[in-house]
Amino acid sequence: MIYMTYPESAARLASSWAASAATGDPRRDAASWSPAALARAETRAGALAPSVERLEARLVLDARAQLGECIRWDAEAQTLWWVDIDRHRLHRFDPVSGSNETMEIGEAIGCFAQDAHGGFIAGLRSGFARITRFGGALVRLGGPLHDPARERFNDGRCDFQGRFWAGTMWEPRDVAAGALWRLDPNGRMSAHAQGVVISNAITFSPDGTRMTFADSPAHTIWVCDYDAARGLPSNPRPIRRYEPASGRPDGAATDAEGNVWVAVIQGSRIEKLSPDGRLLAIVDVPVPCPTCCTLGGRDRRTLYITTGRIRMTEDELAALPTAGGVYAVDLPAHHAPGIIEPRYAG
C-alpha cells in the first residue's frame, strides 16, 4: 500500500483548504508546511500533560458488530444511535433497558446526523441520503463526484449551523483519492479537503470556531480555524501525531471545554486531548479496535465507545469474543460533560 507521508498529507490538506477558503492569508500557504515547520509543530503536538489519568471501559452491549461506528447520543430521547458499516445497519440502543433495535439500510452507512424532523441525514456508499425516521423510508439524494465501487462515506457530523460534513474513504488505500464534503441545508454539496485516504475525527469546538479532522493513515489529527458564518475551515495544523505501531486516530467527540476524545483504532484506547493536543486521559478498551465515541447519559459524562472486529484472526476473535461490542465508562465529576449534537437543518 502507498500512503502519503506526513509532510505530503499535511501540505495537500493545507493547500486544499486554502483553495476552498481563497482568502489569501499567508498562514494557509502549503509552503508553511515545510519539513522544518512540521518538525516544530510535531514537537508541540501531542505533548504529555504532567500526569495522565487512566480509566477502564466496560462492555454494555455484546453486539459483535463487524465495524461499529458513528455513535451519537440523543439527548432528547436519552438513547444511543450507532452504525455497523459493513453489515449496513443503523442501530438504536437504550443503555437503561439494554434494548438494541436495528434498521437495515441496504448498503454501507458510514455516518449520519439526526435532523429536525425526526429522521436522519446519512453518508452511504452511494452518496448522501435522507432517512425519514428509524425504520422508515430511505431517500437517496445522489452523491458528489466519487466512485462508489472503490469509495464510500466514512466519518461525518453537523456543525452548529446545521451543515452536514462527511468525508469519504478510498478503500483500495493506494492513493489519496478521498475528500471531505459539506452538504448545506439547501442541498448544495461542495468539497473542502481533497487528497485524503480515510476521513475521520470530524468535530467542532463548543464555540464553533475550531474544527478537527484526521486522515487516519497519516496518523495525525489536525485542527483548523472554522468560519461558522461561511462554513469554511482554514489554517490546518497538527495537534497530535501517532507512531504507526501505536494505532491510528478514528472517530472522535468534543466535550463542553473543547477537549477532544478520540478513538485510537488498533490501539485499544480512547484518548482525551486538550484543545492544543495535550494528552489528559486514557480510557483502556479491552479489544484492539475502538472506532468512535460519544459522551452521553443524563449528565453527558458517560463515554460510550463502538468497536470493530476487522482484521482480527479467528484465534483473536476466539480470545476476544466481545470485539465489536459497545463499551462505556462513567467519567469522574471533574471531567466536562459532552455537548448536545447539532442536527441537520435541511
The CATH number of whichever domain residue 89 belongs to comes to 2.120.10.30
Q: What is the pLDDT of residue 112?
A: 98
Three-state secondary-structure class, residue 213 = strand
Q: Which of 243, 235, 282, 246 is nearest to 262 (CA)?
A: 282
Q: Is residue 181 in a domain? A: yes
User: Cα–chain-centroid distance for residue 13?
Assistant: 17
H or E element that contains 235: strand 232-241
Q: Is residue 346 in a domain? A: no
CA–CA dist 145, 24 (Å, integer):
27
Amino acid at 56: E
Residue 286 and residue 57 in contact, taking contact as beta carbons nearer than 8 Å: yes
Q: What is the pLDDT of residue 12?
A: 57
Mean pLDDT score across all residues of the chain: 88
Report whether pLDDT(105) > 90: yes
* Domain range for 209: 6-330
Catalytic-role residue among 250, 276, 284, 330: 250
CA–CA dist 46, 22 (Å, integer):
29
CA–CA dist 134, 124 (Å, integer):
16
Q: Does the annotation count 74 as an active-site position?
A: no
Phi/psi-derived region of residue 133, left when phi > 0, alpha when psi is between -120 and 50, beta in every other case: beta
Q: Is residue 257 in a domain? A: yes
Q: Is residue 335 in a domain? A: no
Q: Is residue 171 in a domain? A: yes
Give the bridge partners for 263, in sequence order: 270
Amino acid at 287: V
Buried b (16+ CB within 10 A) or exposed e, 127-143: bbbbbeebeeebeebeb
Written as nine digits, the cell of 47 is 505533548
H or E element that contains 204: strand 199-204
Q: Is residue 282 in a domain? A: yes
Q: Is residue 262 in a domain? A: yes
Q: What is the pLDDT of residue 18?
A: 52
User: Cα–chain-centroid distance for residue 253?
Assistant: 7
Question: What tens digit of pLDDT does each residue of 58-78 get?
Answer: 999 999 999 999 999 999 999
Number of domains in the chain: 1
Written as nine digits, the cell of 172 is 483500495
Angle, vertex CA 219, rays to CA 300 and CA 25, nearest 5: 90
Question: What tens digit of pLDDT does each residue of 272-305 get?
Answer: 999 999 999 999 999 999 999 999 999 999 999 9
Q: What is the pLDDT of residue 24?
A: 33
Report whether pLDDT(146) > 80: no
Written as nine digits, the cell of 230 is 461561511
Q: Is residue 342 in a domain? A: no
Amino acid at 320: L
Give the bridge partners for 327, in sequence order: 59, 305
Q: What is the pLDDT of residue 144?
A: 81
Report whether pLDDT(329) > 80: yes
Question: What tens digit of pLDDT does each residue of 223-244 get?
Answer: 999 999 999 999 999 999 999 9
Written as nine digits, the cell of 124 is 452511504
How far lies 343's CA from each of 73, 175, 210, in Å?
A: 12, 33, 18
Q: What is the pLDDT of residue 19?
A: 55
Is the pTM above the cut of 0.85?
A: yes
CA–CA dist 117, 133 (Å, integer):
8
Report whether pLDDT(258) > 50: yes
